[in-house]
Structure 1
Amino acid sequence: MKRQLIAAVGVAAMVVGVAACGSSAKKDDTAGSSSKPANYNGKTLNVWLMDGSAPQAWQDGIKTDFESQFQGAKLNIQIQKWDGIGQKITTALSEGSVDVLEVGNTQTAGYAATGGLLDLTSAKADLGGADWAPNLNASSVLDGKQYAAPWYFANRVVIYNKALWTKAGITATPKTLDEYYGDLDKLKASGVQDPIYLPGQEWYTYFGLIAGNNGQIAKQNGSKWAGNLESPEAKDAFATYQKLQSYSTAPKDKDEATPQQSTLFPKGTIGSMIGLGWEAPAPKDMPADQVGYFPLPGKTADKPSGVFLGGSNLAIAQASKNQDLAKGFLKIAMSDKFEGQMASTGLVPNKTSLDALATTDYAKAAIPASASGATTPNIPAWSNVENTPNPIKDFLAAVLQGADYDSTAKKYDDQITQRLGQSQ
């Protein structure tokens, strides 16, 4: 299943001319090749991971193994929120207050271009990089140099409440968007508050719909990039997004993290939502057999809607004073043991040897959906677009609240173009 996903990513990435990130690594779990001091007493490695990425068992396990291998050292894992993370990372990289950090595959090039990330080219082989698939490692590379280790890959699917669907008389998951609209109508008629919970600024879903139309959210004109919300493909994608959002009471001017939709779903008032595997409720909040998954359907049954091919890389801060320890952490994190734990949660790790573990219900829905996906342009300036205030989010909120599509698209295309022209 993992190899199928890697192939799908390779094809989907051509939608925007770049590839997503992923890889495989060696089984040797020993520390990095750099010589290490006699002891690590008093040293603390500060690691930033993003909310929803690493399960608690993974964090606990890697802390135990790291502190056992590097006796005297302490591992301090800090969980960060995605909202506003760009500026926070920029500040931390300049101050040297973080050693290892998780960065999104759309953001890595931007941080590397500013000089904030350590060049890992010479350490790549020791980290297992010889086995990393080149097409999936692309977002970790800038100007031929390796600035991060690819960690995992994921895309969004529809997560649904089976009990509410059964109550509404729905006996099968939809294969087309029209069938899904019909199911949402049935859920609404049965009294479900939110047949689908879809905040107005959930731009990842909108991005995927554009990709499924063979469109681009930004286009390249020679050596320059420009916003592309005015394109027919983007406008058609918005029509789909707007119709889906019309079944939701979620705010039109907020994203999926405000409030975090994963905290709302278990309350039993939401029939479905579009999210990542980690956003599904834990068994303690809702029985696992009451949670289902399927790809967001497309216009025809033979092709699901497109998806944003998300993923994360692990990088080391250039200003880190613990670079030897940081490389050791990366090697442990990228080992079979800990990549295997990621696979068992439904995420897709960098290890083709762990194919059999990517068999969760979420993964089964995510893999076919990835065939119609894409990622953002792998250019340093893209991080400017995602910085708050994100013009794509503001565009969606404005049009959903009644603004004219064409004139609003031009306004925000101009903003995107300006940001893409800014230096890092």
Structure 2
Amino acid sequence: MKRKLIAAIGVAGIMVSVAACGSEDGGDKGGKTDASGNKTLTVWVMDGSAPDAWMAEVNKEFEAKNPGVKVKVEKQQWNGIQEKITTALSEDTPPDVLELGNTQTAGFAVTGGLADLTADKAKLGYDGWNKGMLASTELDGKLYSTPWYAANRVVVYDKAAYKKAGISAPKTRDEWIDGLKKLKASDPKSQPIYLPGQSWYVYSGFVWDEGSDLAVKDGDKWKGNLSSPEAVNAVNFYKELASYSTAPKDKDEATPQQSTDIIPKGGVASWIGLGWEAGGAIEAMKKAGKTADFGYFPIPGKTADKPGSVFLGGSNLAVAERSANKELASAWLSLAAGKDFMTKYAAATEGALLPNTDAAQFKPAAGSFAEAMTLAAASGKITPVTPGWANVETAPNPIKDYMTKVLNGEDPKAAGEAADKVINERLNQQ
């Protein structure tokens, strides 16, 4: 799938399934040089991930600190990136630095495609990283990447609908449900919330709120956890929310695309989405001759002291194991992903993306999507950090199928047990 940065809005945070191959100590072999004798450091980033002016400033400072080195940035497209990275990491001259989806980094690391950065923790700023983002950078106690940026979902609501129902942004689940009831009473023909049956990233947050996870480590292996009491509680709450929606039970938020295919038609008081979706909805409504007046709030938690858990979708920066310039590549990471340039990065995207350290966070405008996203990020997490997780997300996604079964009336525990069998096979397949 593709991910696109919308200036001042956000990113989808949906990653391509990727896996690396090949392992050999690259050392510092001298690397590639251009006609002028300069050593070249090649950096692969996805199209739309980094503002051009920001990247140019990073490279200018890096080259000034490292005379005789030139940075070559090569923008990549998400379409086909899995095969391209897999091939690149198995060759003798891979890119030195690569942007990787945060949920897929472990898949590269386990096969030896990424350099071990554990010894560089201090200079990379490890202690200051956002804890929710940090989890995706490590595997088996070793560091294989630096977090770069992330984004998460919030609740988007129609201010006019909320005003008519006499409600405000809720702080707890109970307040949220009470508000949906009032919205239903205020306008029976409208959906209090649009919530497709297979929005599994939203469901994941509810599982984390219960203190559990989608899969857990069992000895040396992983196993699915959807039949656990915590997962059952989570899906039951999801089902309660979905009872206020007429969205398809067997579709996710992208089929149809909720932001551009559903919301502009009207009749929806609230929905859960990413920044780029909010921006897309605003633009689609404008083209339809309508004016969007959205408010935003974090997905409520069980109690008012903290928001509900959310999936932090984003990217990491890693060094190829076969890079001929690993020391230089690590130095580039420490500069680009360091506090100073992450502060500039957050400002350049106007709070659309969450930087890897809270100390670099851009102060978003009051009432903006970015403000709600920043508040929600305090409860951010990622999917289980295991190389096999990419297999779970492969269609048909067993979590999606499980959710549809429950929404259609199947017993949550029985549906969870069936899903766990599929998840177990996928997590532990060789």
TM range (shorter): 0.7 to 0.9
Equivalent in 350, 360, 367 of residue 356 of structure 2: 350
Aligned residue number for residue 19 of structure 1: none
Cα distance, 1:411–1:289 mapped onto 2, change above 3 Å: closer
1:418 partnered with 2:422: no
Is the CA contact (8 Å cut-off) linking 1:62 and 1:338 kept in structure 2? no
Equivalent in 307, 315, 318 of residue 318 of structure 2: 315
1:169 partnered with 2:176: no
Aligned residue number for residue 384 of structure 1: 391
Equivalent in 88, 112, 117 of residue 115 of structure 1: 112
Distance in 1 (CA, whole Å) between partners of 2:243 and 2:84 is 34
Q: How many equivalent pairs are there?
A: 382
Cα distance, 1:405–1:355 mapped onto 2, change above 3 Å: closer
Aligned residue number for residue 61 of structure 1: 53
1:9-43 Cα shifts (integer Å, max 9, x gaps): xxxxxxxxxxxxxxxxxxxxxxx9x8873548998
Distance in 1 (CA, whole Å) between partners of 2:189 and 2:88 is 44
Distance in 1 (CA, whole Å) between partners of 2:75 and 2:422 is 36
Is the CA contact (8 Å cut-off) linking 1:340 and 1:349 kept in structure 2? no
Q: Which runs of 5+ in 1 are unaligned?
A: 1-31
Cα distance, 1:250–1:107 mapped onto 2, change above 3 Å: same
Distance in 1 (CA, whole Å) between partners of 2:37 and 2:157 is 48
Is the CA contact (8 Å cut-off) linking 2:354 and 2:374 kept in structure 1? no
Is the CA contact (8 Å cut-off) linking 2:343 and 2:361 kept in structure 1? no
Cα distance, 1:72–1:202 mapped onto 2, change above 3 Å: same
Cα distance, 1:217–1:46 mapped onto 2, change above 3 Å: same
Distance in 1 (CA, whole Å) between partners of 2:224 and 2:258 is 28
Offset at residue 112 of structure 1 (A): 0.5
Q: Which runs of 5+ in 2 are unaligned?
A: 1-27, 64-68
1:238-272 Cα shifts (integer Å, max 9, x gaps): 11112222333433333233344343466252322
Distance in 1 (CA, whole Å) between partners of 2:86 and 2:32 is 29
1:210 partnered with 2:216: no
1:290 partnered with 2:293: yes
Offset at residue 150 of structure 1 (A): 1.1
Equivalent in 150, 168, 175 of residue 179 of structure 1: 175
Report the residue type matching 1:60 in the other structure. Answer: D
Distance in 1 (CA, whole Å) between partners of 2:247 and 2:329 is 41
Aligned residue number for residue 274 of structure 2: 276
Report the residue type matching 1:113 in the other structure. Answer: V
Aligned residue number for residue 27 of structure 1: none
Aligned residue number for residue 198 of structure 2: 201
Distance in 2 (CA, whole Å) between partners of 1:388 and 1:73 is 38
Offset at residue 147 of structure 1 (A): 1.7
Equivalent in 305, 309, 312 of residue 308 of structure 2: 305
Offset at residue 219 of structure 1 (A): 2.6
Offset at residue 225 of structure 1 (A): 2.3
Report the residue type matching 1:180 in the other structure. Answer: W
Offset at residue 159 of structure 1 (A): 1.6
Q: In the TM superposition, what are the counterparts of 1:100-249 in structure 2 within 5 Å?
A: 100-121=97-118, 128-129=124-125, 132-133=128-129, 135=131, 137-166=134-163, 168-188=164-184, 189-190=186-187, 193-249=190-246
Cα distance, 1:75–1:221 mapped onto 2, change above 3 Å: closer
Report the residue type matching 2:310 in the other structure. Answer: V
Offset at residue 120 of structure 1 (A): 3.9
1:250 partnered with 2:247: yes
Q: In the TM superposition, what are the counterparts of 1:366-377 in structure 2 within 5 Å?
A: 366-370=373-377, 374-377=381-384
Cα distance, 1:120–1:261 mapped onto 2, change above 3 Å: farther
What SS does structure 2 have at the residue aligned with 1:158? strand
Identity of aligned residues (%): 47
1:179-228 Cα shifts (integer Å, max 9, x gaps): 33343344455366543222222111111101112222223333332111
Offset at residue 320 of structure 1 (A): 6.3
Aligned residue number for residue 397 of structure 1: 404
Offset at residue 149 of structure 1 (A): 1.5
Distance in 1 (CA, whole Å) between partners of 2:302 and 2:53 is 44
Cα distance, 1:321–1:244 mapped onto 2, change above 3 Å: farther
Cα distance, 1:133–1:176 mapped onto 2, change above 3 Å: closer
Q: In the TM superposition, what are the counterparts of 1:69-88 in structure 2 within 5 Å?
A: 75-80=73-78
Is the CA contact (8 Å cut-off) linking 1:157 and 1:275 kept in structure 2? yes
1:127-146 Cα shifts (integer Å, max 9, x gaps): x3465449553421234443
Is the CA contact (8 Å cut-off) linking 2:150 and 2:354 kept in structure 1? yes
Report the residue type matching 1:59 in the other structure. Answer: P
Is the CA contact (8 Å cut-off) linking 2:215 and 2:222 kept in structure 1? yes
Cα distance, 1:407–1:281 mapped onto 2, change above 3 Å: same
Kindly report the root-mean-square deviation, in angstroms, between the aligned alpha carbons of the 2 structures. 4.1
What SS does structure 1 have at the residue aligned with 2:216? strand
Aligned residue number for residue 13 of structure 1: none
Cα distance, 1:252–1:138 mapped onto 2, change above 3 Å: same
Cα distance, 1:258–1:295 mapped onto 2, change above 3 Å: same
1:80-105 Cα shifts (integer Å, max 9, x gaps): 27xx9767754665578876543333
Cα distance, 1:409–1:186 mapped onto 2, change above 3 Å: same
Equivalent in 33, 49, 60 of residue 37 of structure 1: 33
Distance in 2 (CA, whole Å) between partners of 1:87 and 1:388 is 18
Distance in 2 (CA, whole Å) between partners of 1:67 and 1:175 is 43
Distance in 1 (CA, whole Å) between partners of 2:42 and 2:256 is 31
Cα distance, 1:201–1:317 mapped onto 2, change above 3 Å: farther
Distance in 2 (CA, whole Å) between partners of 1:323 and 1:239 is 49
Distance in 2 (CA, whole Å) between partners of 1:412 and 1:91 is 32
